[in-house]
Amino acid sequence: MIIALGLEYDGGAFHGFQAQRSVPTVQENLEAALSEVAGESVRVTAAGRTDAGVHATQQVVSFPTRAERPLEAWRRGVNSLVDSAVSVIWSRRAANGFNARFDALERRYVYIFHESETAPALLRGKVAWSPQRLDETAMSRACRCLLGEQDFSSFRAAGCQSNTPYRCVHSASVYRCGRQVVLDIAANAFLLRMVRNIAGSLRRVGLGQEDAGYLARLLACRDRTTAAPTAAAEGLYLVRVSYADFDVAYRPPPTLESA
């Protein structure tokens, strides 16, 4: 059978989702707990391989297993074994052949800038600090050019292993939530560090260092060296993954709910 799980995690506790040698990762921690509950070796596939420091409120993973367990055992049992920075928020049986990565229709991320004169203490590691006020209206106008299927080479990290730089962005907007300015973007898939690279360039627009046409010019260049530096990982959250067979609700980061 195929089991699907919904996860939330604090990315600051891990060196990314994907298992790596000699460093803690979400995948390694989760698979160890699942294997103990299943009584057999378990390997998971994730909808998105988030980078070190990137958080998730609604990551989705899937795995095949021969173990017959109540669905609640996959949630409560695993939560009793994983690191406190990871939590299984739901579990369900998926259709045969379901794959959390390849069956995903859309991934949605939010990137949070937090405006304050001094670096935040309580939100440290959960937001990207901005000591200057940002113009969210100009930033929202600038990101309209991202919509549709395009070549996103200008926002693609050098280590990206994708066969193509083309991605289809379904929605992109910037809005204010109190002292937080939020980039909300959804696409069929994303290139390595694509959202953080977009956020870094949008910050220049928000500071008035570039006009609203800046991102459009960057897209046309198709050259990563022309864009702004990559924005910090701690401001980024994976908040929803969409599938044709079942609905996964949007879960906002706690920093937005409490803003």
How does strand 236-242 pair with strand 55-64?
Answer: parallel
Beta carbons within 8 Å of 54's beta carbon, 6+ residues apart: 11, 16, 233, 234, 236, 237, 238
Radius of gyration of the chain (CA): 19
Task: Exactly one of 51, 83, 103, 211 is catalytic; name it.
Answer: 51
51 is catalytic: yes
Nearest CA among 52, 58, 62, 90 for reference residue 74: 90
Phi, psi of 200 (to 5 degrees): -60, -40
Nearest CA among 54, 40, 69, 66 for reference residue 7: 54
Q: Are 95 and 2 in contact (CB under 8 A)?
A: yes
Task: List, by residue number, the catalytic residues.
Answer: 51
